[in-house]
Structure 1
């Protein structure tokens, strides 16, 4: 099997020179640390992303088409490709216009920013599922809350022993609750960004959400996954307020809350034990911050009684 070529600074300069001219090629730099970065800043206005294997290339081609499908449905900026093609046989690139702003770690999301998040969730739900499937967006089955609950309970005990988590917290995901909060039969799948917890929310200094990057991991599935990701980024109260504004009822809001809480326990415990399950880019301090955000109490979980007829899955909470 032929090994894929490795992108280098010279590779990037030659490609940028062919796309934007000699001047642009003099100002390229890696967007992240690492010996073989696949994402590069090009001046102050562009970002170049290189696929380094065939699977990534396939997802990047799909992403370009998906962004065009999503764009009319969301009010925030979706990146635009200035140029795209292959930088090596079978390996793609896209040169995107940079979306101005910082990350949700750098800028606090304001009340108007929460409305932007609500509009984003609303727009994702309105994207036609059939058209997304035609583009090759895969379906993803909802995760088992019961399996996640068991893993989180064990992780919580280990974190309590390490003085990283208070096991006496009143918010607990019981076996009964995991059954109640699960996706109800007949609930429609929606387009899920599936990576909003990473560096993909672009936030302005005024707290407004300016754009959403990184659409390669999008799936058709459970909208609670995006609610969970927002809880890790902006805290549980803000995430649930945004989801409620988007028209989601108590069940998906609380399911997203518990996905986030269980994930943070499992990821932090695994990292402390030397078996990290979170992405390598997520540092130990950030895992602790995400744990705190996910476990912020919200009023909804204290006042909601879920019925078995499915009420609360899509209607207002």
Structure 2
């Protein structure tokens, strides 16, 4: 298989000079610089108004092509900005690019989300439930089965014991999730919705006043378990804010607590993997996410599950 070329500043500059040749930019082209945040795309700032994303392989190119159509489908349903592509095509044979308008603001790691920002997140979750699943699937959005919380719990118990020995975590906390509780928090039939599936802090565009102005990177969207997006928000903005946003969006105790425990177990497992050298994630960020996920919330103490509780959606 042919090795994909490595994009350089000169590669990007030549491409954007062509794309923006009819703009008011100077003949030398706008300033270009790589975006520091990680991701599967090679991402570059282009001047002050645009972001260029280059798919590094053919699988990523296929997801990027789907993303362009999917963003148009999602945009009318959500109250936050979904990026708009002003140009797209191929930057190398079979490898796509999209030049997007920059959404003003910082990331969820730079700014705290305010109470009004929680309402923005609630509107996002509400809107994703309203996107017609059948239409999304016709665009190629895959349907993904829900994860087993019990299997994840067992992994987290082992990881928590090792983190406790390393003085990184109170391993007794994981015992709050018993096998019986994990069974009660299994995903319920008929709850599949469109799921962003990557609501990390770096993909939340947050203004200085705490409003959520936009959501980035729609390449990983699936039809599946809405608790995964609740879990993502737990890691991005904390347990309390995430659960309040999900509750305001109409989700009951079961999906909220399922999302909470997915996030908690994930943080324990990922931190242990990082300490073992099997993960390249930022150690300070993983520790911050662990702290966010393990914030105590009242819902944990005030919930009795009813077998008949379900959420509106498609079958998982």
1:149 to 1:121, Cα distance in 2 relative to 1, 3 A: same
Over 4 Å off, 4+ runs: 312-315
Q: What's the TM-score, normalizing by structure 1?
A: 0.93
1:13 maps to 2:13: yes
Do 1:197 and 1:232's aligned partners in 2 also have CA atoms closer than 8 Å? yes
Cα distance in structure 2, aligned partners of 1:33 and 1:74: 25
| Map of 1:297 onto structure 2 | 296
| Map of 1:137 onto structure 2 | 141
Number of residue pairs matched by the alignment: 308
| Map of 2:116 onto structure 1 | 112
Do 2:191 and 2:311's aligned partners in 1 also have CA atoms closer than 8 Å? no
Give 1:126-165 correspondences, 5 Å limit: 126-165=130-169
Please list the CA deviations of residues 245-271 of structure 1 after superposition, one character each: whole Å capped at 9, or x if unmatched: 000001100000000000000000111
Q: What's the TM-score, normalizing by structure 2?
A: 0.94
Please list the CA deviations of residues 77-134 of structure 1 after superposition, one character each: whole Å capped at 9, or x if unmatched: 0000010011111111000000000011111100000000000000001000000000
Q: Secondary structure at the match of 1:2?
A: coil
Do 2:145 and 2:225's aligned partners in 1 also have CA atoms closer than 8 Å? yes
| Map of 1:272 onto structure 2 | 275
Any stretches of 5+ residues in structure 1 without a counterpart? none
Cα distance in structure 1, aligned partners of 2:34 and 2:172: 45
What do you get for the CA RMSD once the two structures are aligned?
1.8
Do 1:30 and 1:37's aligned partners in 2 also have CA atoms closer than 8 Å? no
| Deviates most, 59-68 or 161-170 | 161-170
Q: Secondary structure at the match of 1:169?
A: helix
Do 1:7 and 1:37's aligned partners in 2 also have CA atoms closer than 8 Å? no
Give 1:2-151 correspondences, 5 Å limit: 2-21=2-21, 23=26, 25-32=29-36, 38-151=42-155
Cα distance in structure 2, aligned partners of 1:6 and 1:63: 23
| Map of 2:216 onto structure 1 | 213
1:41 to 1:170, Cα distance in 2 relative to 1, 3 A: closer
Give 1:131-280 correspondences, 5 Å limit: 131-169=135-173, 172-185=176-189, 187-276=190-279, 280=280
* Structure 1 residue 312, shift from structure 2 partner: 5.4
* Structure 1 residue 274, shift from structure 2 partner: 1.4
Please list the CA deviations of residues 210-245 of structure 1 after superposition, one character each: whole Å capped at 9, or x if unmatched: 000000000000000000000001100110000000
* Structure 1 residue 10, shift from structure 2 partner: 1.4
